[in-house]
Amino acid sequence: MSFRIVVTGKIPNAGLDLLRNAGFSPIAWNNDQPMTRSELLNAVVSADALITLITEKVDEELLVAAGSQLRAVCNVAVGFNNIDISACTARGVRVTNTPGVLTDATADIAMALILMVTRRLGEGERVIRSEDAWQWGMHYMLGAGIQKRQLGIIGMGAIGAATARRAKAFGMSVAYSSRRDVTGEIDRGLDAKHLSLDDLLLTSDIVSIHCPSNESTHHLIGAEQLRKMKKSAFLINTARGPIVDEQALVEALEAGEIAGAGLDVFEFEPKVNFGLLNRQNVVLIPHLGSATAETRAAMATLAASNAIAIANNQHPITPVN
Ligand code: DGY
């Protein structure tokens, strides 16, 4: 088929097979390392559709390099802060993402970070690996229990709600702050309270971020917001790094303004603020939210299905613009 699909990062075969079985001949990057910017700008030339990863910045420069025939950018991620949506829309380029298929995997990681940071699991593992002497003791390495504690969810979308369901099963109560009150739309069993962001920060024992990253959520959690949190509270971020002012977080941790943090994402990913690295009360993992084989295959398949739909002049399954 003459519709040229360029896959700018290495994706699971399930996505490529789907494209091939639908009669396309995708041109696919086959290296775990992302392309350099100049490789990327060369690769996109004359593409009709791009299948992109979050490591690729899709901006005006890239759209110009691709050319005016470009019809679609299908991101293999639910988040799309790597894409300039207005620039795509202005050029009539459809953007799609992959919501739904990574909800459980990401909520699992949020819950894992909650348990890790409150029960000091990273710290405990470091003790064992250090081979230093240790001894069970009544007062040894006590953590904070989460039962009857309040989980405050920022951004009650699918992943926020899935995290809330997990927390509920662990005996937590749930509050959330969202641009709109979605209490009627989410699981009634969650019994979740809709609060302003300030009230959520003031009253929650664990604050977990699940909102999209965009101009309005950039540094949504900064020095002022961290000061509002309880000194005994923990911050969890599995959404996007720039939602948290990372330097302000380091300072809040240093000043004992919050008890700890569990982070899957970083403001300047893949760089991690040096001030986080040597803190025992911080759990740091390398953006693993959707990192299961099944989930990544489902993400690639959904992105490929979106590209195929657009190539066939049909509505994409999960459009962004
Ligand atoms: C997403 O889908 O936005 C994830 O962060 C990528 O793993």
**Based on the domain organization, do 86 and 109 belong to the same domain?**
no
| Ligand 1 pocket test target in 102, 210, 211, 240 with most atoms within 8 Å of CB | 102
Rounded distance from Cα 268 to ligand 1 centre (Å):
15
Q: Classify residue 318: in a domain, yes or no.
A: no
**Based on the domain organization, do 45 and 136 belong to the same domain?**
no
Distance (Å, whole) CA 197 – CA 202: 9
Query: Strand 5-7 and strand 234-237: pairing?
Result: unpaired
**Based on the domain organization, do 217 and 199 belong to the same domain?**
yes
User: Is 120 annotated in the active site?
Assistant: no
Say if residue 240's pLDDT is above 90. Answer: yes
> What is the total count of domains within the chain?
2
**Based on the domain organization, do 130 and 259 belong to the same domain?**
yes
Cβ distance 102 to 79 under 8 Å?
Answer: no
Say if residue 160's pLDDT is above 80. Answer: yes
| Predicted pLDDT at 317 | 98
**Based on the domain organization, do 56 and 113 belong to the same domain?**
no
pLDDT (average), residues 217-246: 98
* Residue 264 exposed, middle or buried by CB count within 10 Å (0-12, 13-18, 19+): buried
Query: Strand 206-209 and strand 49-52: pairing?
Result: unpaired
| Ligand 1 pocket test target in 290, 295, 296, 306 with most atoms within 8 Å of CB | 290
According to DSSP, the residues that pair with 5 across neighbouring strands are: 49
Q: Classify residue 321: in a domain, yes or no.
A: no
Q: Classify residue 79: in a domain, yes or no.
A: yes
Phi, psi of 264 (to 5 degrees): -105, -15
Say if residue 1's pLDDT is above 80. Answer: no
Nearest partner of 249 among 218, 225, 230, judged by Cα: 225
Strand order in the sheet with 94-96: 27-28, 5-7, 49-52, 72-75, 94-96
**Based on the domain organization, do 206 and 306 belong to the same domain?**
no
Q: Classify residue 54: in a domain, yes or no.
A: yes
Structural domain that includes position 256: 103-284
- CATH number, domain of 60, equals 3.40.50.720
Which residue CA neighbors atom 3 of ligand 1 most closely?
A: 79
Q: Is the CB of 302 under 6 A from ligand 1?
A: no
The residue from 119, 165, 219, 269 that is catalytic is: 269
Read off the DSSP letter of residue 212: P
Atom of ligand 1 nearest to the CA of 97: 2
The residue from 240, 246, 257, 296 that is catalytic is: 240
**Based on the domain organization, do 186 and 83 belong to the same domain?**
no
What does each C-alpha distance from 116 to 56, 97, 172, 282 come to in angstroms?
A: 31, 30, 16, 9
**Based on the domain organization, do 207 and 299 belong to the same domain?**
no
Atom of ligand 1 nearest to the CA of 291: 7
For 5, half-sphere exposure in the C-beta direction (CA atoms, 13 angstrom radius) is: 29
pLDDT, tens digit, for every residue of 23-71?
999 999 999 999 999 999 999 999 999 999 999 999 999 999 999 999 9
Q: Classify residue 59: in a domain, yes or no.
A: yes
pLDDT (average), residues 190-204: 96
Say if residue 179's pLDDT is above 90. Answer: no
pLDDT, tens digit, for every residue of 135-157?
999 999 999 999 999 999 999 99
Q: Give the global pTM.
A: 0.96
Distance (Å, whole) CA 51 – CA 47: 10
Distance (Å, whole) CA 199 – CA 154: 11
